[in-house]
């Protein structure tokens, strides 16, 4: 599988085989790291990380992951470079292409990452935009595969806001043949391009894609219940109103009882306890949720080692 030079901007740019290959590679890289082997696959390679929004997991997992691969990284925060304000994104892309081997961007408008990638001559990775969060979903699929020893045939039910994480889950689950149900209030559905992609892909991989507004019906037979914050970064002003709208979508013990008996609960984190998930359910699933966070690093190392 040759992915050298390819951007990692949305899962919709990848085939099922490519995603499954990256997951297998991530498992192998993780196994090596756990046994103390760190192959310097990216020696002398440099990654630049650009953040227009806050981050804990994305920044640390990319920085340490890059170091474990023998390379280096450098982080630029919004106040340092003012992406798209101090100079055009196309100029920034061409400047960084002269110094670095790969750039990861976390920002608001998805089109800014596309614009950057258009002008960059090095691979661009999407570290979260308002539209999607593909690196997160690679870690999620890795976590699910480790837990259930398979992906195909499982049902994931995402309960909450039809946001960037929900959009990428739709694409990712459909690509690996998992059934995916999104349960959200009316008016908070995922983006139609992700829904359409998931529906088309599901026809090929033999899975099922649904939007079910009632969470009590949606979680039926779910092997994985997944949630994320109700107000994403950039929506802080709507947080109070959203707390009311999303109340019926909380992951709590009563909702979990309606899922498959051997289900797991995942959360991309950061979590707002007693909002989208109760403290009780988060702690009950803490082992897998923090493994999910750790898997960001292993999944991204596979991406970095493949595209650089
Ligand atoms: N899940 C995730 O992307 O976490 P950060 O926002 O902390 O990077
Ligand atoms: N939907 C959340 C994900 C955080 C990792 C946000 O965009 O803030």
Query: What does pLDDT average to in each consecutive run of 10 residues of the chain (308 residues)?
Result: 97 98 98 94 98 98 98 95 94 98 98 98 98 99 98 98 99 98 98 98 98 98 98 98 98 98 98 98 98 98 98
Active-site residues: which are they? Answer: 106, 133, 136, 228, 268, 296
User: Is the shortest distance between the CB of 47 and ligand 2 below 6 Å?
Assistant: no
Please check whether residue 184 is in contact with residue 166, taking contact to mean a CB–CB distance below 8 angstroms.
Answer: yes
Q: For the domain made up of 11-133+296-307, give the CATH fold.
A: Rossmann fold (3.40.50)
What pLDDT does residue 188 have? 98
What pLDDT does residue 246 have? 98
What pLDDT does residue 259 have? 98
165 alpha carbon – ligand 2 mean position (Å): 7
- CATH level 2 (architecture), domain 136-293: 3-Layer(aba) Sandwich (3.40)
CB-based contacts of 187, cutoff 8 Å, min separation 6: none
Q: One fold for both 11-133+296-307 and 136-293? A: yes
Q: Does the reported pTM lie above 0.85?
A: yes
- The structural domains of the chain, with segments of one domain joined by +, span 11-133+296-307, 136-293
| 217 CB neighbour count, 10 Å cutoff | 13
Query: What burial class does residue 68 get, using C-beta atoms within 10 Å of its C-beta: 0-12 exposed, 13-18 middle, 19+ buried?
Result: buried
User: Is the shortest distance between the CB of 10 and ligand 2 below 6 Å?
Assistant: no
What pLDDT does residue 7 have? 99
What pLDDT does residue 184 have? 98
Q: Say which ligand is closest to the CA of 162.
A: 2
């Amino acid at each position: 599988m040759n992915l050298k030079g390819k951007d990692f901007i949305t899962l919709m740019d990848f085939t099922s085989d490519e995603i499954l290959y990256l997951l297998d590679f991530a498992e192998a890289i993780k196994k090596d790291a756990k046994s103390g082997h760190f192959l310097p696959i990216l020696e002398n390679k440099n990654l630049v990380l650009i953040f227009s929004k806050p981050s804990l997991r994305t920044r640390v997992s990319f920085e340490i992951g890059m170091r474990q691969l023998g390379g280096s990284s450098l982080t630029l925060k919004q106040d340092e470079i003012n992406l798209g304000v101090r100079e055009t994104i196309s100029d920034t892309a061409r400047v960084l292409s002269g110094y670095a081997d790969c750039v990861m961007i976390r920002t608001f408008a998805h089109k800014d990452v596309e614009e950057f990638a258009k002008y960059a001559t090095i691979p661009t990775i999407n570290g979260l935009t308002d539209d999607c969060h593909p690196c997160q979903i690679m870690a999620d699929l890795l976590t699910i595969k480790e837990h259930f020893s398979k992906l195909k045939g499982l049902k994931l039910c995402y309960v909450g806001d039809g946001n960037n994480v929900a959009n990428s889950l739709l694409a990712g689950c459909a690509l690996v043949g998992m059934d995916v149900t999104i349960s959200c209030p009316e008016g908070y559905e995922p983006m139609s391009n992700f829904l359409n992609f998931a529906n088309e892909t599901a026809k090929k991989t033999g899975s099922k894609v649904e939007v079910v507004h009632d969470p009590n019906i949606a979680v039926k037979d779910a092997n994985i219940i997944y949630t994320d914050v109700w107000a994403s970064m950039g929506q802080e002003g709507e947080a109070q109103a959203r707390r009311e709208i999303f109340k019926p979508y909380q992951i709590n013990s009563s909702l979990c009882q309606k899922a498959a008996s051997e289900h797991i609960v995942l959360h991309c984190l950061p979590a707002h306890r007693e909002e989208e998930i109760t403290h009780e359910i988060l702690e009950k699933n803490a082992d897998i949720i923090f493994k999910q966070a750790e898997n960001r690093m292993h999944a991204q190392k596979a991406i970095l080692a493949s595209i650089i």
